[in-house]
A = this chain, B = another copy of it.
């Protein structure tokens, strides 16, 4: 039996624009998905998922048929099982063991569909754990690449390498198309506010695409986000980066995302709460439409203010996760 874990992430800069070839800088945060994998004597894949911020579920199905053995109650749940299924397939493929069955147990303290890369973390940890259970230690770049393939499959061709690469490598990374690099960044005082909801990633991405195709100023706005990322990356990798400037860039990025139609009332309210509490800056993270914001604040003021905000269901500090995927 092998256990692996992988971190979630926030976007310091660049979500949505990354879809159009602009760079993005996601940062891994200390909220992890943990996956335990044990080889079975038969070819069955049995998945037990707990604490996914949805009701725990257990699904049992044959590896060959791809058909679920039980009724799946929600779309979100269905997606979660698809991710695990895809990840196990990738590990089997990498290890040349197409017919091996597994018991897979997934635990996660990353809210689902909230912009923190929960699915990427589950996929990355599942691939690494399954391969390790088969006696193979995959190179991290291969884990990241195979995890990306899973997201691509499950999300109908709509995925960026940002989430899976960041979750695999840990720390701050820079992703531009297929070019993925780790960044030498200091720790950052992240505060994450969660409104308890989630946006519809597909619809949000489609909305941006429509605006971008219709209006040149929307395409220019996407490019401006890319310029913010380039400036932000330069600041982040300076000796003793300016949190003031990083915050100002986050604020600007948030406004451009709001212009592109992917913010929401509760996200904006949390962003204002953080700013008024004295955060260096604050923005939504991920696809938007609901879910999480990320703020920078080295005092406890933002955390306290968000804990009293009606829009905020949960708030937590999250250190930059130095470790990406860890197999034990």
Contacts and interface: CB of A to CB of B under 8 A. Distances in A.
Given A259-B255, A272-B265, A272-B268, A223 B220 contact: yes
A269 B265 contact: yes
B218 A220 contact: no
A230 to B, nearest CB: 9
A40 interface: no
A223 B257 CA distance: 17
Interface string A196-224: 00000000000000010001111011011
Question: Quick one: copies of this chain in the complex?
Answer: 2
A91 interface: no
Max count, chain B CB within 10 A of own CB: residue among A217, A258, A263, A272: A217
Interface residues of A, number: 31
A254 interface: yes
A319 to B, nearest CB: 28
B255 A251 contact: no
B215 A256 contact: no
25 contacts: A215-B227, A216-B227, A217-B224, A217-B225, A217-B231, A217-B252, A220-B220, A220-B223, A220-B224, A221-B221, A251-B261, A252-B259, A252-B261, A253-B259, A254-B258, A254-B259, A255-B259, A255-B260, A258-B258, A258-B259, A265-B269, A265-B272, A265-B276, A268-B268, A268-B272
Given A224-B224, A268-B272, 11 more contacts: A211-B252, A215-B252, A217-B224, A217-B227, A217-B252, A220-B224, A253-B259, A254-B258, A255-B258, A258-B259, A259-B259
Q: Which 3 A-B pairs have the closest CB atoms?
A: A255-B259, A265-B272, A217-B227
Interface of A: 211, 215-218, 220-221, 223-225, 227-228, 231, 251-261, 263-265, 268-269, 272, 276
